[in-house]
Structure 1
Amino acid sequence: MAGNTLGELFRVTNFGESHGPAIGCVIDGCPPGLPLTEADIQIELDRRRPGTSRHVTQRQEPDQVEILSGVYQGVTSGTPIALLIRNQDARSKDYSNIAETFRPGHADYTYWHKFGVRDPRGGGRSSARLTAPTVAAGAVAKLWLKQRFNIRVRGFMSQLGPIPIEFQSWDHVHANPFFAANATQIDELEAYMDQLRKDGDSVGARIDLVAEGVPVGWGEPIYGRLDADIAHAMMGLNAVKGVEIGAGFASVAQRGSEHGDELDPTGFGTNHAGGVLGGITTGQDIRVSIAIKPTSSIRTPRQSIDKAGTPTVVETHGRHDPCVGIRATPVAEGLLAIVLMDQALRHRAQNADVHVDTPAIPAHR
């Protein structure tokens, strides 16, 4: 199956199925000399791990990462880094009733028509379980970006279903299961999710991402644009149906006199562009938002067909996230970090000796 590799110089190839023996990834192109241990990766995987609250799937997976290659005496060797995460709590029998039918909103129907065979156990290859290797690879990229450029990649949930979440502080993000930057709204969010689970239904979410400290000049014109690479990577995340850079769709209602970010020797006045102009970084924060659809696997009866084309009713049992967006923040952070590291290496390969007389202005006034 093609389409499992992300990046050009920093390349991440994802493998495995939801209920197979293991999932993982191979990272090729990571420069040598980066201090790296399994604990460095595990801290990110634990943020995404299932079973951490009543609002997510109760599948109990430790998501313990194993480094199989590419690290010697505690540092990367420059050779491919193989990361393995073993599946330990799969319950394939929960999916026996949908082996011959197609769940509405899921990839069952399209996988069947593309490959002529599909793995119905937990969604197989199309499962959100496959986001764990992305987080693992993103942890490596985060470490390199932090060490080399002091770049910080962070995210938070800004909307859960119909409920907007006002940003208060980054300090709140890691203190609740929603990755919400507002501790005062947690009771409201929990009550909403408790009722949603009782209803046997699901809901979507919006995740906002910020990369701070990115230098000016990364990205390439036309087909190698940084924002295009970001959008491509984010759309590869399960359930993502929309990506915004900077002001995004709000740009439609803005006038040019408002949207264009004015600048003077003291910095940019605004950041409607999201830190990217002409596909190249401005030195401002990279700002990205993603829209995540409701989980397709729900207990509510839905109309569908079976493999023979006969009408049927589908009820999906098993353990599922009523909102996959709750655990999506670490995954989206990882994807953004992977794209930025890839673009950093591409910039270094072609433009490392480029120097201009005009100094870069500050990111902010």
Structure 2
Amino acid sequence: MSTFGTLFRVTTYGESHCASVGAIIDGCPPGLPLDSQDVQTQLSRRRPGQSNLTTPRDEKDLVHLQSGIEHGITLGTPIGLLVKNEDQRPRDYSETDLYPRPSHADWTYLEKYGVKASSGGGRSSARETIGRVAAGAIAEKYLKLTHGIEIVAFVSSVGKVKLPSTVSSPSQASSEDDDIVEDSLSPEFVNLLKTVTRAQVDAHLTRCPHPETAERMTKRIIRAKEAQDSIGGTVTCVIRGVPSGLGEPVFDKLEAKLGHAMLSIPATKGFEIGSGFRGTEVPGSKHNDPFVSKADGSLGTSTNWSGGIQGGISNGEDIYFRVGFKSPATISQAQETVQYDGTSGTLAARGRHDPCVVPRAVPIVEAMASLVIIDQLLIQNARKTASSLLPTITTLPPTMVKPASSA
């Protein structure tokens, strides 16, 4: 369906070449100071035509707030917003009348609905993410004002060009011990997760905050573009300041909700949180995150292989994860394929496309992260409020009950 969230519910609408795209946000708390610029900042980071590394489609993506706000304050009623599609070129997609484009949703949408959009990717197009980014910007402002939560995403790889993130493992050739896996996060990468800002991310067109790697990424994207080809990559996201206790075991674990959100973004092919797949190679004795006492008397962990989530619930540490994006399916090279009737042929796709989507995916990842966190925060606050109305528990051992002063 087209709705995401439980208490903070976002419904997006629109296709890639219809009159407009947008969203309805239901459940935004009343009293939040909000104007169009709060939303526009993130939409402008997502919009096409930003540089020679992205699609040349010329869309300003100006947001129009339609409801739920008066005098710059949210009313608690549904917020409607829309963005007009201005640079439409449906004629660029006339070949899709005959051919299902390789690795696109043309065929699967037709199989599912019995009808499909005649141009572009329809609902599978990245234009659909405008509503997500706009809604995420609203959620993010609430999270920042109420809890100081910060969400920053950045490009961590393009093709085989990767941001340095780990301490090199000792050579396996010099040891027969398969348990020697020292591929821990480097101090530099840990510091990056703790300190990186969006200004640092946006300082380079690739949105990689490591200048040397960013230059190599640029060359790789340009090489794909000049070859009329495309290339994929990964986006890493860190969420700082998340309170402990968020997440709904068993089936709605916080990492499961984040995975759901990220894998709903067009072109995504992978999600890993914390140590991810590297955690399968590290013995438990090295992978465990020992508890320590923080300066404020609360508990924390000395390492963060868990990525800020344990048992499906946030533990108060930074949450970090990585999302994999495939190479864009639309390329200008001629491809041997078949028509809808099975007749063999050659498809030379037209249209405007990104040679690599990850630079523009950064604000989309941030938006989906904010939608997950605000929803889980509202759910947890509702539970805590309901619990606070009950008599104080005095019949259980102290180790089973959180002290009222720290609740």
TM-score band (shorter)? over 0.9
User: CA, structure 1 residues 228+77, in 2 after alignment: closer, same or farther (shift >3 Å)?
Assistant: same
1:358: Cα distance to partner? 9.1
> TM-score normalised to the size of structure 1?
0.95
Choose from 344, 348, 355 the match for 2:377.
Answer: 344
Q: Structure 1 residue aligned with 2:367, among 311, 324, 334?
A: 334
The aligned counterpart of 2:103 is 105
**Residue 308 (structure 1) aligns with:** 341
Partner of 2:302: 269
Runs of 4+ off more than 4 Å: none
List aligned pairs for 1:1-365, cutoff 5 A: 3-166=1-164, 170=197, 171-266=199-294, 267-352=300-385, 353=387, 356-357=402-403
2:319 and 2:20 map into 1 onto residues whose CA distance is 34
Letter of the aligned partner of 1:149 in structure 2?
Answer: H
**Take 2:131 and 2:348, find their aligned partners in 1: how far apart are those partners?**
29
Deviates more, 1:183-192 or 1:320-329: 183-192
Matched residue count: 358
Gapped runs of 5+ residues in structure 1?
361-365
Separation in structure 2 between the aligned mates of residue 257 and residue 30 of structure 1, nearest angstrom: 44
Q: Distance in 2 between matches of 1:209 and 1:243?
A: 11
Structure 2 unpaired stretches of 5+: 165-188, 295-299, 389-400
Structure possessing the higher radius of gyration over alpha carbons:
2
The answer to whether the 8 Å contact 2:162/2:213 transfers is no
After superposing the two structures, state which structure 1 stretch, 167-176 or 35-44, moved more: 167-176
SS at match of 1:223: coil
Contact 2:309 2:319 in 1 (8 A): yes
Q: After TM superposition, give the deviation of residue 58 of structure 1 in Å.
A: 0.5
User: % of aligned pairs identical?
Assistant: 41
Residues 2-27 of structure 1: CA deviation (Å, up to 9, x unaligned): x1111000000010000000000000
CA distance in structure 1 between the aligned counterparts of 2:222 and 2:263, rounded to whole angstroms:
29
- Secondary structure at 1:24's aligned position in 2? strand
Distance in 1 (alpha carbons) for counterparts of 2:315 and 2:39: 30
Residue identity opposite 2:268 in structure 1? V
- 8 Å contact kept, 2:64–2:81: yes
Distance in 2 separating the partners of 1:115 and 1:304: 23
SS at match of 2:358: helix
Q: CA deviation at 1:84?
A: 0.2
CA distance in 1 between counterparts of 2:221 and 2:293 reads 48
Paired letter, 1:207? V
Per-residue CA deviations over 1:267-311 (Å, capped at 9, x if unaligned) read 311111111111110000111110000000101222322221222
2:158/2:220 contact within 8 Å kept: no
Query: Are 1:104 and 1:303, in contact at CA under 8 Å, matched by a contact in 2?
Result: no
**Structure 2: which amino acid aligns with 1:81?**
I
Deviation at 1:194, TM superposition (A): 1.6
SS in 2 for 1:121: coil
Letter in 2 for 1:272: W
SS in 2 for 1:184: helix
Maintained 8 Å contact 2:161/2:213: no
